[in-house]
Chains A and B, each alone.
Chain A
Amino acid sequence: MSETVLSIRNLSISFKTSNGMVNAIRGVDLDLHKGETVAIVGESGSGKSVTVKAIMRILSSNQRINSGSITFNYERDGKRVSQDLLKLSKKEMRNRINGKRIAMVFQDPMTSLNPTMTIGHQIMEGMIIHLKKSRSEAYERALELLTLVGITAPEKRMKCYPHQLSGGMRQRVVIAIMLACNPEVLICDEPTTALDVTIQAKILELIKDIQAKTNISVIYITHDLGVVAKVADYVAVMYAGKIVERGSVNEIFYDPKHPYTWGLLSSMPDIGSENEKLYTIPGSPPNLLNKVVGDAFAPRNVHALNIDFKQEPPMFKVSDTHYAATWLLHDNAPRVEMSDTLRKRIDKVVKEVGSEWMQPHSYK
């Protein structure tokens, strides 16, 4: 396994609201290795965005980081540096980390671009400030970047304003800006949710392409499991501020263990089958204003055991890379299987790939 670039340990974040403290993140552990992609999936409100915003330290002003650490390992002037990002001041973050070493692509490309500046100017800005490049150097590099992200006639596009470009083009420009300073980590917060499928496929292939060329590490946030299947090496499933299951992408898709992951996979429309009705997970996510007792997913879980309502399940180990927080994996738990429809669906996709899944997949 390659070196760890970013490791989050026991991160806990609350938000102060007029109704009281909301425990948005309740102890998250996550590792990101060099050149790999981790996808965080979950419903809205599960804390996926809050987690990555904590990495960038761009949470809103009512945030309270209760505990935890985010260790970022990088190289500076040829020396290995290991830095807890939560210990840096906001100013230090902006001067040393944000944009330069960790860059973020947001969901809506229109709101993340400055409408009053040409895109060329916006791409060059970061390089001039962070890398102390001259204008002409930055201009040359900007042209290169625009070509890299697949924009034709870059000289002409450099002079365009964001409103003159289509949605897909804008998101490409945002990605070019993010890549300008050769960051070690790229965070993508639902980068394709606002785009349609053909553009989405292109952007996803673009990010994978760039990753292969530059060996950048990527954190990918999405609620679309099809996208996860396409881009991710590792998957972390989040529910109510906790990671409930994590594993390699194959383990999550071919051998899911947590009932919530089952629910997510079941509710995805399946192109291959002729089902009449889509599965939906009953109920709604818990209100994190209240203290969660036991397993947060228990009230929505048809397989919930008595202990689920009393005690929080620890992470049970399924394999070296695969962990799930559900009491169903305890030695004394009754044998509970996923629903027949999901079983059939997974059997079908496993059959499609044949023996490839049985061999432990190599993780570089």
Chain B
Amino acid sequence: MDAAPLLQVTDLKQHFKMSSKFTLKAVDGVSFNIHAGETYGLVGESGSGKSTIGRSIIRLYQPSAGKVTFQGVDISGPLKEKEQTLLRTKMQMIFQDPMACLNPRKKVIDIIAQGLDIHKLYKTKQERTEKVYRILDKVGLSREHANRYPHQFSGGQRQRIGIARALIMEPKLIIADEAISALDVSIQAQIVNLLKDIQEETNTAFLFIAHDLSMVKYISDRIGVLHLGHLVETGTTHDIFEHPIHPYTKSLLSAIPHANPIKEKQRVAITYNYATSGIDYSKGIQQQVSDTHWVLANEEEYAAWIAR
């Protein structure tokens, strides 16, 4: 890929000081790129630091170390007003719980237009309403919905409101933090299709954070597998699903249930225990498997995994 990436994360670290003696290394040296119009899926179990990465990038946290550049601008240090505006408009976030992230005392139109209000992106009231209506159409809600309150919607519709609120700023990058985990299977499919359509139309890049690998496979171009704050394997969707190398990736893949009862009853998921596996993430380096595929390992481990 020749063009400069939209988002470049280099050696990002996010440590939380829990007490004077103990520092939690939630994210410990993670690097990846996202190009314009691409979807990067970040998967891992709870506690692996995937949400923390999303939050550090959008600067809900102050990164402990490392560099994050967005559209060529460094956004990991102290932010000046210009950088702040860029970050707050061109990067948006969709949250997991569609009920908790919408203000219950505001009408949908005001929730969606809040970003416009703050950044004064319209001249007349008419224009504001028009913009909101256009976005509502785009996410598959009707105009009558604009004057309702969040509690009057179903879970899937609420998530659409969350997406509309992110889209109205015409962002270049949307961070979707477990955006579909709380929804039903059939609704999940609707939201995933909607995100794909939006991407085709607007060329927005997505950082898709999830623990459900089967949905991640549908939406992502590239996937990063995260474990205990380390990116253990990264590659295209094909690389990860067809040629997984790291034992943790393999155990994640084996944990997905398949819609085949006879086979499923006999299958036992591969277990992976970091403590007993003898692997030390901090000693590993990113080994290149192919043009697009990297795995975290030291020389010995790498040779052993490849040979298998």
Interface of chain A residues 210 through 228 with chain B (CB within 8 A): 223-228
Q: Which of A195, A267, A279 contacts B46 (CB 8 A)?
A: A195
Q: Which residue of B lies closest to A254 (CB)?
A: B261
Let me know if A224 and B257 touch, CB within 8 A.
yes
Ordered by A's residue number, 10 sampled pairs between the chains whose C-beta atoms are within 8 Å are A197-B255, A201-B254, A201-B255, A224-B185, A229-B260, A229-B265, A269-B218, A278-B189, A279-B189, A349-B260
B209 to chain A, nearest CB (A): 12
Within 8 A of A (CB), among B227-264: 241, 251-252, 254-264
User: Considering only CB atoms, which chain A residue lies closest to B260 in the complex?
Assistant: A349
Interface residues on A, range: 35 or more
- Partner among A224, A249, A253, A278 whose Cβ is within 8 Å of the Cβ of B192: A278
Q: Is the CB of B257 within 8 A of A227?
A: yes
Tell me whether A124 is interfacial, beta carbon within 8 Å. no
Minimum CB distance partner of B183 in chain A: A44
SS class, residues of chain B in contact with chain A: helix
Total A-B Cβ pairs within 8 A: 123
What residue in chain B is nearest A260 (Cβ atoms)? B186
- B46 neighbours in A (Cβ, 8 Å): 166-167, 195-196, 199
Determine the chain A residues whose CB is within 8 A of the CB of B193 once the complex forms.
277-278, 280
* Interface residue? A302 (CB, 8 A): no
Please tell me if B211 contacts chain A, counting CB pairs below 8 Å.
yes
Q: B15 at the A/B interface (Cβ < 8 Å)?
A: no
CB distance from B227 to the nearest CB of A (A): 10
Query: In the assembly, what is the distance between CA of A253 and CA of B265, in Å?
Result: 13
Q: Looking at the assembled complex, report how far the CB atom of B176 sits from the nearest CB atom of chain A, in whole angstroms.
A: 16
Q: Which residues of the partner chain B approach A254 to less than 8 Å between Cβ atoms?
A: 261
Q: Which residue of B lies closest to A192 (CB)?
A: B257
Would you call B155 and A44 a contact (CB within 8 A)? yes
CB distance from A208 to the nearest CB of B (A): 9
> Which of chain B's residues 208-231 have a Cβ closer than 8 Å to chain A?
211-215, 217-218
B268 interfacial by beta-carbon distance below 8 Å: yes
- Within the assembled complex, what's the spacing in Å between the Cα atoms of A226 and B192? 18
- Residues of A near B263 (CB, < 8 A) are 349, 352-353
Contact of B256 among A167, A197, A225, A279 (CB under 8 A): A197
- Give the complex CA separation of A196 and B241 in angstroms: 18
Question: How far is A226 from B241 in the complex, measured between Cα atoms in Å?
Answer: 18
Task: Please state if A44 and B184 are interface contacts (CB–CB under 8 Å).
Answer: yes
Partner of B258, one of A267, A271, A280: A271
Query: Once the chains bind, are B255 and A200 in contact (CB under 8 Å)?
Result: yes
B79 at the A/B interface (Cβ < 8 Å)? Answer: no
Q: A31 on the interface (CB 8 Å rule)? A: no
Q: How far is the CB of A231 from chain B (nearest CB, A)?
A: 9
Q: Contacts A226-B257, A280-B193 given: A205-B185 contact, CB under 8 Å? A: no
Q: Is A270 an interface residue (CB 8 A)?
A: yes
